[in-house]
Amino acid sequence: MSEQTIYKEIKQLSASEVLEIRQSGLKQVSKNRSFFKEMSYEEAIAQFVSVWSSRIAAILQSGRVIRLDLTGGLDSRVVLALLIYAVKIYGLESAFTDGSILFHSIKRKEEDYNCATQIAQKFGLKLNAGMKIQRIGIPAEQSVENWLDYNLGRYAPHILSLGNNQGRVVNFPGAGGEDHRDFYLKFGSTNFVSFLFGYQEHFSTTENFKAWMGDVISNTEKSAALPENRGIEMSIRHYRANRSRHHAAKMPRTEVMGVTLGSKYFYQLVLSADPSRVGNGQVLYDIMHVCCPDLVTMPYDTPKKMPTSDMLENLPNSIDIPALEPGQATPIQSELTLTASEQSLSGLKWAKSLLSKGKTHPNEVLFDRTRSILKELDFVSSKEKKMAEKLTANLDKWQSEKVTRNLHGSGAAIHWAHILKLSRTGSI
């Protein structure tokens, strides 16, 4: 939430700064923001689409795989529009069917999956198919250690990786889209300060809470001086500086990501847009319209995401987008690619294939560790005791069901237990 971390001696580097290593020592300096320039909205759209479509072409031409989590939401659909545009412009349509692009959607999320299925049928995409690149599994213990080393105290949701793609697969998420709208309003808050008051119950004293809130607000004010935050509300500035970068980096050491909507080219686009086009998400529909107009009005997971008649009327006219020469990327070794028959195990069935070979799932390791923590700690308040009891019951449930999926937010209490142990014993 701020620059403070769970360690008194360590602070999080501000989003507006970089750390320079000099002979005299470390020095915090402001980031160079000379990239951002005055340009028209149409020019900014053209720059964003041309740069990212050429990057997509370079990735595919190198033999790598692009993976997109397709939901019923807006952000992932904008990224899909960009992919559709890129393969068309650069003549790479076969990527949609030969395993070069994996479109993944979670079946248990019914609304998301229904929307993804309709989109896949319309554009001839293979949903939840296998990748053409061999995936390399990592030991369960290493997966858990990655989570503890890089997410503890930083990002609470339970997200573990079974493999390390080592740059063979580039994930293109919808991350970054929420950098440009008020994410915190979805929790019922009317403004950022009222949102912060929702955390007061977690503090032992009012004084501690006020000190923490003052620190959060003070840190957030620093980012107001950045050119990309010009005229941006405090809540959005805080989201950009904190949750956004942690959410996008939720699986460290296991993923390579192409974060289009969090890139400087998209920030330039937002800077060049009229503020009215940013607050209501018009910029996202505009990109979709430029890249793949048919996607704009296809069903979403909730009706409120459908663009209004005013938004449809304000979609941009034809924009001239230059086709840049794709960059260069080191080719993938031929022995790492799979035949069509082998690809069936490189998608959703890959995890199950590992377990069928007697491999331990990282959930099993993490659940056992967490259960040990709950047994060894003394809980000093009724609230802690209730949380421990609930987590114990959930662990029983998850282990009896042999859960092999990531639990995301529903598993955040696991993070709480490990943080509690760290604060009480000084070790993980």
Question: Residue 150: what pLDDT?
Answer: 84
Question: In this structure, what is the dihedral angle of CA atoms 98, 101, 106, 109, given to the nearest 10 degrees?
Answer: -120
Average pLDDT (315-338) is: 78
pLDDT category of residue 290 using cuts at 50, 70 and 90: very high
Q: What is the pLDDT of residue 165?
A: 61
Q: What is the pLDDT of residue 351?
A: 58
Which stretch of 30-34, 157-161, 329-333 has the lowest confidence by average pLDDT?
Answer: 329-333
**pLDDT exceeds 80 at position 79:** yes
DSSP structure class, residue 127: B
pLDDT at 68: 92
Most confident of the following: 263-272, 331-340, 376-385: 263-272
- Which tens digit of pLDDT belongs to each residue from 402-415? 888 889 889 999 99
Please say if the pLDDT value at position 175 is more than 80. Answer: yes
Q: Mean pLDDT over residues 165-183, rounded? A: 83
Whether 132 shows a pLDDT value over 80: the answer reads: no
Q: Which amino acid is at 69?
A: D
Residue 46, both tokens: 């053209």
Across 215-350, where does the E strand assignment appear? Answer: 256-257
pLDDT for the residue numbered 316:
94
Pairing of strands 25-30, 17-22: antiparallel
Res. 249 pLDDT band, cuts 50 70 90: confident
Q: Which of 149-158, 184-193, 246-255 has the lowest mean pLDDT?
A: 246-255
pLDDT at 340: 59
Element (H, E) at 266: helix 264-272
Give percent of the chain above pLDDT 70.
90
Mean pLDDT of the chain: 86
Q: How far is 272 from 264, CA to CA, in rounded Å?
A: 12
DSSP string of 92-116, one letter each residue: -GGGGTSSSEEEE--TTSHHHHHHH
- DSSP, res 11: B
Q: Confidence band (pLDDT; 50, 70, 90) for 360? A: confident
Residue 168 has pLDDT above 90, yes or no: no
Cβ atoms of 130 and 347 within 8 Å: the answer is yes
pLDDT band at 337 (very low <50, low <70, confident <90, very high): low
Q: CA angle, 71 as apex, 179 and 263 as ends, to 5°?
A: 30
Q: Residue 102 is encoded by which pair of tokens?
A: 């994996």
Exposure string of 109-141, with b = 16+ CB inside 10 Å and e = fewer, is eeebbebbbebbeebebebbbbbbbbbebbebe
Partners of 103 in the β-ladder: 68, 127
CATH code assigned to 41-156+163-180+243-356:
3.40.50
Structure confidence by residue, pLDDT tens digits, 34-77 = 788 899 999 999 999 999 999 999 999 988 889 998 999 999 99
pLDDT at 336: 59
Residue 257 parent element (H or E): strand 256-257
Give residue limits of the domains in the chain: 41-156+163-180+243-356, 362-425
